[in-house]
Amino acid sequence: MATRSRPNILLLFTDQQRGDTIHALGNPVIRTPALDRLCRSGVAFTNAFSPSPVCVSARCSLIHGQYPLHTGCYENTVMPTDGRQTFMAALTAAGYRTHGIGKCHFTPDLYALRGFESRETQEELIGNPERDDYLKFLHAHGFRHVCDPHGIRGEMYYIPQPSQYPAHLHPTQWTGDRAIAYIREQADPGRPWFLTSSFIHPHPPFAPPNPWHKLYRGPLMPLPNVPADYAALHTFVNRFQNRYKYRDQGIDQNLLRCMKAYYYACISFIDFQVGRILEVLSETGQLENTLILFTADHGEHLGDYHCFGKRSMHDSCARIPLLASLPGRFRAGQVCDQPASLVDIATTVCAAAGVEVTSHALDGVDLADLANGTTTREMVFAQHAFVPFIPQGAALHQQPESRAALSTYMGVSRRWKYVYSAPDHREFLFDRVTDPLETRNRAGLPLCRPALNSMRTALVEHLRAGGETGGLDSAGQWREFPRLTIPEDPDALLLIQDHPWPDTHIPGYSEP
């Protein structure tokens, strides 16, 4: 195949994958030969973070190359509808053939293109089964009876479970298959392509197919990271998530180990697809001229601190995998520990393709410059504003002070992580060198006061520069809002997320 002057670009994207789940980067348990191969061929960014550790706001920051204080999306709420460009739109305008496969989680329209020329859809929660390409595929193969195409949610959201499909029909395999088909079709040497291949796993429910669910065995899995004073590290959003995810009524260590086994199996099955994709790139002569980026929207507590879910600024939720490979642009086998962010993806893609987003300034840096040491940036930032399950929840995000009262903020350097939780009116400071598992909060330690003040100042300056000042007083200090609590009733707030389309009525039994 003829060499193109501009590289192809492949973005491999996962949902809820922790940053510590790659074998080559220090996890001795998980098996990720394909991701290990990417580590050898390119750069691994080991201090990469989500700009907002929840699905929609993280993806919004990804496609627009902006922090939440510029996108206006801080949770699973509406992405900008003001016409601002995505980096995919910039690529399309510059002549790239752009395509998206799998979960995009675009809002308010799940099936919008948002700059892609075309999409093949596989979304997590489906309102209309006729608009979801993966669900139509399943129904055509005789699985119309399945109510939960990505694993049983609701009460079983965090119960490990084998998939209801064989491996060749599994959502992860479908995404891999469609990516391979797309890459094989791209034979025009005059037109480069961009592909997002986005996997729903390892997002819960953790439902790998047979026999992948037996790849790891629960009794052999390490227990979660639970420091001696773990409760002192909780924030309001931790307590709220533990409740509505059915995980605040006691700890079962055997269940937690099984949960990790199935979570790792989901990642290894994704890794298997990545390996297949790399092979077809090699077979078609495109591997050496394709920028490959692998990353995720956010992580997962997985029992760390006796917590579950995302939305937290602990590394288990906020730190993500980030790999970049392109011969001549990223040095093979390099490990870069400079702070990186999802907002860097848009800048990196545009720089490699020689295109520009014209509607707004990008907040990120080119990851090639970060790896080469030619950028002066020392910190990355994050903000998440929780939407409680009340009718006016999403509307609160439109009011700066109400949004601030629900926000958790973060600033990260190579040495320190500073977190402020407005619902708790509490600061956290973690020494990322001497305490990489974040077991002790140093914010109240006089010895660390200079670092605390420096990190707080940097975060406040970031917020002020972006106009996100609803949580600050006139002196630039944190405003104090009413403390938020969850109901004492252990059944209050338990969440059910059922698809609206399946017929679950059982005659003679469903009637009251």
Token pair recorded at residue 82: 């003001």
181 band by pLDDT with thresholds 50, 70 and 90:
very high
Query: Given its phi and psi angles, is residue 72 left (phi above 0), alpha (psi -120 to 50 degrees) or beta?
Result: left
Q: What percent of the chain has pLDDT over 90?
A: 89
- Mean of the pLDDT values across residues 192-207? 97
Q: How confident is the model at residue 199 (pLDDT cuts 50, 70, 90)?
A: very high
Domain extent listing, the chain: 8-377
Can you tell me the distance from the alpha carbon of 460 to that of 10, in angstroms, rounded to the nearest whole number? Answer: 35
pTM: 0.96
Above pLDDT 70, what percent of the chain?
Answer: 98
* Residue 291: strand pairing partners: 9
* Residue reference for tokens 């119960």: 159
Q: Helix/strand/coil (H, E, C) string of 188-207?
A: CCCCCEEEEEECCCCCCCCC
Contact status, residue 297 vs residue 124, Cβ threshold 8 Å? no
Q: What angle do CA 304, 305, 309 make, to 5 degrees?
A: 60
- When the pLDDT of each residue in the chain is averaged and rounded to a whole number, the result is 95
Measuring CA to CA, which residue among 236, 163, 202, 176 is closest to residue 421? 236
- What are the backbone angles phi and psi of residue 372, rounded to the nearest 5°? -85, -5
Strand order from edge to edge, sheet including 322-325: 118-121, 97-102, 193-198, 8-14, 290-296, 322-325, 43-45, 334-336
The CATH code of the domain at 8-377 is 3.40.720.10
Helices 33-41, 253-283: crossing angle, 10 deg rounding: 60
Q: In the structure, what pLDDT confidence band is assigned to residue 512 with cuts at 50, 70 and 90?
A: confident
Q: Residue 3's pLDDT band (boundaries 50, 70, 90)?
A: very low
